[in-house]
Structures are given as C-alpha cells and as structure tokens.
Structure 1
Amino acid sequence: MFEITQLNEKELLMQVAEGNEFAFRRLFAAYHQRLGVHIFRITQSTELAEEVVQDVFLKIWMSRETLANVDNFKAYLFVISKNHALNCMRKVVKEQLLLKKLEASNVVPFKTDSNEADQYYNLIDEAINQLPPQQQKVYLMSRHKRLKYHEIADQMEISRETVKKYLQIATTSIKDYVHEHMEAITLVMALINFFYFF
C-alpha cells in the first residue's frame, strides 16, 4: 500500500485530473485496500465490495476533471463509495425479490454472462445520446426501426447521400466513444485484478 501525504495527494489529484494514468494507479494503490475493507464492513460481501471499489474508481476516472476541486480525497472517496454500496445493496435486494417472484411463478429468467455486456450496451446508449440530433435520428431509424436509406430520406426530407453520410459519421462516433470508455473500464479492471484486496 502506498502512503500519500496531504500535500502529495493534492498534487496527485491534479495530475489525475489532467488524465495522468500513472498518478491514477498510485491513487488507486494508496486507497483501494482501505476502501475495500470499509465497503466489506457495510456489505458483508467480498463480491459486492469488489464491485463497489471497481465502480467507484471507474467513476472517479471518468469524471477525473472534478478532482482538482477535492480538498479531502479520503472523505470524498468514502462518502461516494458508501452511497454506492447502499444503492448496490438495495439493487441486490430488489433482484432477489424479483427472482423469488419468478421462481414462484415457474418463470426462468434469461441469464446473460454479464456485467461486461451490460457496460458495453450502456456505453452504446451513452454514445447514441451524445450524437447531434440529426445523426441520432438517422442512426435510430436505421438500426432500431430497420428503415432503408430511401425511407429515412423521405421521412426526414433529406437526400439518400446525406442519410448515408450521417450514418457513417454516427457509427464511427459510437465506435470511438465505446472504444475509449471500454479502455477506461479495462484499466480499472486491471488495477482491481493487480491489487486484489482480499
């Protein structure tokens, strides 16, 4: 575990805010174990504690620019992780109740392999939401409604070439967004695996 003085911590937070991955690794190394133990005391679940630590550090990395305004990182970290842990516990309780209802009605829920798949699809949704309105409309009409170029062109009163261009730009933007953010998820996952705290 790395120890960080208050002065060094402020400098480290500034570096992370600027996108420095090495500084982020140091921050993670300094706090992940204490955070994991803290969350385990709340959840009494190793698996849930790991998930919360992963989610919290991912959230910190994704919104790293805000770290420049944090004066007490430990307090900040423990507050957001406690809130996230409580939300996760509520979610687990809801899922358990739903499973009991499904079992009682002999319905077998469809199981996916995944947290990773969920993260991937969430990123696609986020990427679509960030597209300019016209591109977003063309993309959704093409991919979700399965309309052909000429049908989209007629409905939007634009040319087929414009539809094609919008679709190409939108697809590239979505791929880039997902790729960039999946790298952040992979970074946090790699840190979790490297600094396994239990």
Structure 2
Amino acid sequence: MRIRKLPIQLGQNAEKEIALRLKAGDERAFEDVFYRYYKHLYAIGIKFLKNPDLAEDAVQEIYLKLWDHRETLNESYAIKNFLSIAMKNHVLNVIRDQHQTIWEYLSSEVEERLGEDTTSDAFQLQEYGAILEQGIRELTPQRAKVFRLRVFNGMNNEEVASQLSVSINTVKVQFSQATKFLKDYLSKHADLEGILPIILFFLIS
C-alpha cells in the first residue's frame, strides 16, 4: 500500500481534537489517524511478525477495530498510545496462535514455579515468549529442532538423538549452542527485569 501525506490542520490539543472528531464519526478524522500512525504501527508489526503481509493485515485489523469501536474512545487518552498497545497485543496474539506450545509451556512452568496467580504478568510473559520465538527462528534448523524437542517436548538427549537420527553428543552440542545463543538474544532484545526473565533463563538452561 502506498502511503500518502495529508495536510492535517489540528489545534494545540491535536490528540484530543482528532479523537473527538473520530468519536463523532468523522471519516476525515479517521483518514488523518490512518495516515498519521500507519508507519508506526506497521513497524511494530514487522518487529514482531517479521512478515510484511502479516504486518499489513495486523494494521488493517487494528484500524478496523478502532473505527468499529470509535464511540467508546476516550478522548483524554493519546490515540498513538492506544493504537500502539492494541497493535502490540494483536501481533503477540498472532504469534501465540501460531506457536501455542510455547505459550502453554511458559505459562504452566511460570505458574508452577511462582505458585501463585500470574495474571498480572501475562503481558510480560507474552513479550518474552514472542522474543524467544524470534530467537528460535534465527537458530539453524537442526538447533531449533533440538531446542524445541528438549525444552517444549520434554525429551532427553537420547530421545532427541533417536528422533533426529543423530548422535547423543551432537544433541548435547547443538542444545548447548542453542541455549547460549538464546540467552544472549534475550539479553539484547528483552527488558529483563523482575522474576519472569530469571525463570525463563532457568527454563532454557
């Protein structure tokens, strides 16, 4: 899609003004919002999905939801922040749907180790899971298979070696290299604060 620039004439309270217009069903206001924030939202989609088509679909979905629910929009809340959060949640859900085993694994393991309700940590957990999945995608095919079988399927070295028709030593080496890479990847790409990243590091060791 070709993105064009529109002459946007807004007052000092630009966000509130355009939100009020949008809430009232002003199609020009919606068009203003679309072209003003499209590139920002698309960048979020590419960052997480690594796929132009999926990122484009995600942006369209967010704008469709914005228009459908425009009457409930809180004009005191920055539209850019609202759209950014909605976009981030959407793309994380896309990744979760594509790789459900990761979310199930991380959720169950975190709940077991914390021994308490982790609802408040759900979004943070999704972020770490998405970043972990991105890191796994950057592994060589064999290392990715070894890591998934060891960590998410709970197989031991012997079982992985048998399934992949490789030696046990190969499995050990590939798993060691995979975990080292993923720990470095998480350190560089995730905001590692609190108990969740500590648990995540423990789980992939």
Considering the TM-score relative to the shorter chain, is it more than 0.5? no
Higher relative contact order (CA 8 A, sep 6+): 1
TM-score with structure 2 length normalisation? 0.42
TM-score with structure 1 length normalisation? 0.44
